[in-house]
Structure 1
Amino acid sequence: MSNLLKVEFYKLKTSKMFYLTMFLNLLQGIVVYAFSENFKLMSGKQAFTFILSAQSSLALDILIGIFASDYIVTEFTSGYIKNLISYGHKRINIFVSKSIVYYIGIIVITFIPALILSSINTKVNGYGEIFNFYSMEFLIKLFLMILIIYTAIGSISVLIAFISRNANVTITIIVFLDFINRTFDLISVQKPSLEWIFYKSIFAQPGIVLSDKAATAEILQAMIISLLIIVITTIVGIYVFNKSDIK
């Protein structure tokens, strides 16, 4: 398992798609910054939560899916996964090691724009409060919440990649899920009766926990939904991978 993790970390560090995805996510954050006068006037703390919330409604979920397709699916088509199995590595270890490193990758992709842009705002406008222990506690809690939520979102991409083992199918499904989510979001605005259902979607959770009005119950709900999705997708993914005929 440790050897698999070392190899996966090396592949992550040398992955062109990882850096491209990171750049594209940063680029969309820069575009928001360039065209939003309100964003430029925010304190560092406000900018940090704003960009984390904004990018969830932009193309981040799709970028995460594209990265999964490149990082996971291509190793089925290249025969690398088959070779790992033939060398005696347990399938559960292969699945877990790839998942762990992939999740670390998407957390880096997610936080880079927020860190860079909020640093700029902090330098220009200040952090917004005296930075102390409570400020650090806030950032740590926020980091952990977003980490769990995006791990859950990423786990869906991992499951799709391991089931389809086809890059085009994986990307198509992820884009379709993103389209359904956006469509449902628009419908729920017009029909408040559907809002309750939409807010149970994992894709809605980043905006919920990053809202200034987020209550403890809403944050707890987001964590429960995220953890359930991680557990379910992992169990199903391992089961499907164990039963798959890898050629």
Structure 2
Amino acid sequence: MSNLFKVEFYKLKTSKIFYLTMFLNLLQGIAIYAFSENFKLMSGKQAFTFILSIQSSLALDILIGIFASDYIVTEFTSGYIKNLISYGHKRIDIFVSKSIVYYIGIIVITFIPALVLSSINTKVNGYGEIFNLYSIIFLIKLFLIIMIIYIAIGSIFVLTAFISRNANITIIVIVFLDFANRILDIIAVQKKSLEWIFYKSIFAQPGIVLSDKATTSEILQAVLISLVIIVATTVIGIYVFNKSDIK
């Protein structure tokens, strides 16, 4: 399995789509910075949480979905997955290695804008508080929580890619999920009865946990929802992949 990881990391480092999606996500963050006077006045800490919370309502989910389509689906259509199986690699090892490296990729894509723009604001406006051990612990906790949430979102895209094995279908499903989440968000504002459903959606969790009013129970809920989705999609994905006839 170590050889599979080496190959996957090499493909990640040489993936043009990986760097393109990273650049596009950074670009949308820069666009917000350029047109938002409030953003420019934020401290480094405020900027860090702000960009992480707002990018999910922009195009981040679609970008990491496109990355999943390129990184996973194209290897079915090219015959690479079939070759791995014929060489004797276990399907579970293929699924796990590809998923984990993909998750590392989306973590990089997700955090690059926050790191770059918060660094700029920290230099211009200061961090917002004395940077000490508690600041480091806060950033580590925030990083881990957001990482788990986006791995959960990514796991849905991985499952979609492994089930469909078709780039067009994968993109359509991802765009539909993103669109449905936006519609549900709008409806939830108007109809409080649907608010409960929206707040249980994995796509809503980044905004919830990054809110200034986020409670401990909301953060724990986000982590629990994420872990359930990761486990469920992984189990289903491995099962489907093991039962699939790879041609």
Describe how 1:144-163 pairs up with structure 2 within 5 A.
144-163=144-163
- Asked if 1:65 is matched to 2:65, the reply is yes
For 1:92 and 1:144, how far apart are their aligned partners in 2?
25
Q: Could you tell me which residue of structure 2 aligns to residue 230 of structure 1?
A: 230
Quick one: distance in 1 between partners of 2:164 and 2:220?
A: 32
> Which residue type is aligned with residue 89 of structure 1?
H
Q: CA deviation at 1:192?
A: 1.0
Instruction: Give the drift of 1:188.
Output: 0.3
What TM-score do you get using the length of structure 1 for normalisation? 1.00
Partner of 2:88: 88
Q: Residues 20-59 of structure 1: matches in 2 within 5 Å?
A: 20-59=20-59
Q: Measure, in 2, the Cα distance between the counterparts of 1:30 and 1:164.
A: 34
Identity, % of aligned positions = 87
**Which amino acid in structure 1 is aligned with residue 39 of structure 2?**
F
When the two structures are superposed, what TM-score results if normalisation uses the length of structure 2? 1.00
Q: CA RMSD in A?
A: 0.3
Counterparts in 2 of 1:114-153, with a 5 A limit? Answer: 114-153=114-153
SS at match of 2:212: coil
User: What's the secondary structure of 1:130's corresponding residue?
Assistant: coil
Matched, 1:176 2:176: yes
Counterpart CA distance in 1 for 2:8 and 2:110 is 19
Which secondary structure state, in structure 2, belongs to the residue aligned with residue 157 of structure 1?
A: helix
Map of 2:210 onto structure 1 = 210
Q: Which runs of 5+ in 2 are unaligned?
A: none
Whole-angstrom distance in 2 between the partners of 1:192 and 1:123:
41
Aligned partner letter, 1:78: S
Shift of the alpha carbon at 1:193? 1.2
Deviating above 3 A after TM superposition, structure 1's stretches of 4 or more consecutive aligned residues are none
User: For the residues of structure 1 that align with 2:243 and 2:201, how far apart are their CA atoms?
Assistant: 29
